[in-house]
Amino acid sequence: MSTKAAPAIRTFSEGVQAMVRAALSHMQLPEGVPESILAGHSVLQVRFPVKLDNGRYQVFTGWRAVHSDHRLPVKGGIRFAPWVDQDEVEALAALMTYKCAIVDVPYGGSKGGLTIDPKQHSAGELERITRRFAVELVERGYIGPGINVPAPDLGTGEREMAWIADVYRGLHPTDIDHLACVTGKPVTSGGIRGRVEATGRGIQYVLREFFRHPEDLKKAGLPAGLAGKRIVVQGLGNVGFHAAKFLSEEDDLRIVGLIERDGVVTSAKGIDVEKCRAWMTREGGVKGFPGGTYSPNGARALEMACDILIPAARENQITHANAGRINARLVLEAANGPVSFEGDRILLKRGITVLPDCYVNAGGVVVSYFEWIKNLSHIRFGRMDRRLDEMRGEKIVRALEAVGGRPVPEEVRRELVSGADELALVRSGLDDTMRHAYQEIREVLRTHKTIRDYRTAAYYVAVRKIAHSKMEMGL
């Protein structure tokens, strides 16, 4: 199969397409299949007025894009940010298609966005704006448990998802699966434990799996063992915060740099992530944080010497302009599109390993899938089998005590007789999913000698699955 050379890359969506085309160049697919995979399905744009607290009306513009509906429902977050535009929404919808395929979540890809700065609005205004946006999407068939299922993204969270679920229920009062119309809800409103931190937890599992393979560490130029590795994290939002917290507290990595909008805090000894987040929440930025040295030049801090760099903010943070100065051995793309296509090529030539966003930050959609299943089944995980597990564990303890002739240590007893609750099951499922996906990507690198990087291998995995699905259904 031959693919046409991609034009000069100018936009986010063009960058995503260029990365997919790189994978397609290693595949032999029937004529027309690559085009059907690359092409977006549909984009809805809406404009609507909302009355503000001061009595004036403001018109808002929002989008919901569907990249591929080869699997239903389609899935993807809703982003509230002042820079949101249609190209960004379409690019993120495409990423969701490939992301779901890589981690074997049976969804197509979608994304939503509203051009708004949430910080400039009261809670009451945000509720009215979110509910009106939800009405526009629901009435046009862009939200529904079996059609299109949003989730939180930048600028949105559990609160906004609860509002959207309530709007859907009001418009579809007889739908008993109404809670499944959106994921990322509060646990008390049909959500699932572990969803808030899912993306950050997934990043931790990705890094752990990477460090289980000595050959991969050798290629990246990293010594074995997570403990003590120096990490720079850009973005202390939900994803960056949880990734940094888990890696530093549970795996003993050193957070030597935390980059935020107003600058960067650095410390060779390591930064207390919890304290820095609390300071940022209280003061509005990292400036003045006493647990490190502050500099206003956050962008330059991406070039700090470290073992692992985790960009967890926005797209296009590492480009042709600074990729030649990146001083990390491993880059984990926690954000969507933080490394541009050109920047990625430069890092590849320099021998810097990049684990791509389409895999690394998939933890959120994996746990969203678990939440969706929970809502459709109308039962929480662990409800039917937790006590059974505990009884079996108690029998094992008694057997061990009978054979050994002495009591089992209390710590061992607690572990054996503890049945898995919802959070434990969610973490187990997420860990298994991220590990399996890495192994699939790694197998492509092992068997296809012309593929040299994880990004191309990840997209190869995704495109192969999507192509098979489309061809089996007759496109």
CATH of the domain at 241: 3.40.50.720
User: CB-based contacts of 417: which residues, under 8 Å, 6+ apart?
Assistant: 390, 393, 394, 397
The domain of 183 spans 41-195
Cis peptide upstream of residue 173 (ω within 30 degrees of 0): no
Same domain, yes or no: 49 and 163 = yes
SS3 state of residue 246? helix
Whether residues 204 and 346 fall in one domain: yes
pLDDT at position 403 is: 85
Active site residues: 111
Sequence-distant (6+) residues with CB within 8 A of 364 are 77, 151, 184, 195, 198, 199, 202
Contacts of 240 (CB under 8 A, 6+ apart): 200, 233, 234, 310, 312, 313, 334
Residue 8 pLDDT: 66
- pLDDT for residue 6: 47
Rounded to two decimals, what is the model's pTM?
A: 0.91
pLDDT given at position 9? 67
Q: 167 with 95, same domain?
A: yes
pLDDT at 475: 65
* Local structure of residue 324 (DSSP, 8 states): G
- Residue 35 maps to a domain: no
Tell whether 289 is covered by a domain.
yes
* Claim to verify: residue 242 and residue 258 sit in the same structural domain: yes
Cβ of 188: how many Cβ atoms within 10 Å? 8
Q: How far apart are CA 256 and CA 231, in angstroms?
A: 6
Question: Measured between alpha carbons, how far is 458 from 99 in angstroms, rounded to an integer?
Answer: 9
Q: Are residues 407 and 420 in the same domain?
A: yes
Cβ(397)–Cβ(408) below 8 Å: yes
Residues 46 and 189 in one domain: yes
Please report whether residue 127 resides in a domain: yes
Task: Using the 3D structure, point to which of 195, 216, 232 is the last residue of a domain.
Answer: 195
Q: How confident is the prediction along the chain (475 residues), in pLDDT tens digits per residue? A: 444 554 566 789 999 999 999 999 999 999 889 999 999 999 999 999 999 999 999 999 999 999 999 999 999 999 999 999 999 999 999 999 999 999 999 999 999 999 999 999 999 999 999 999 999 999 999 999 999 999 999 999 999 999 999 999 999 999 999 999 999 999 999 999 999 999 999 999 999 999 999 999 999 999 999 999 999 999 999 999 999 999 999 999 999 999 999 999 999 999 999 999 999 999 999 999 999 999 999 999 999 999 999 999 989 999 999 999 999 999 999 999 999 999 999 999 999 999 999 999 999 999 999 999 999 999 988 877 777 777 887 788 788 778 888 888 888 777 777 777 899 999 999 999 999 999 999 999 999 989 999 999 999 999 999 999 988 877 6
**Predicted pLDDT at 330:** 98
132, 208: one domain: no
Nearest of 424, 420, 422 to residue 388 by alpha carbon: 420
Dihedral, CA of residue 11, residue 13, residue 15 and residue 17, to nearest 10 = -140
Torsions phi, psi of 259, nearest 5?
A: -105, 130
Distance separating alpha carbons of residues 353 and 164, to the nearest angstrom: 40
The answer to whether residue 295 is domain-embedded is yes
> What total of structural domains would you count in the chain?
3
Whether residues 47 and 191 share a domain: the answer is yes
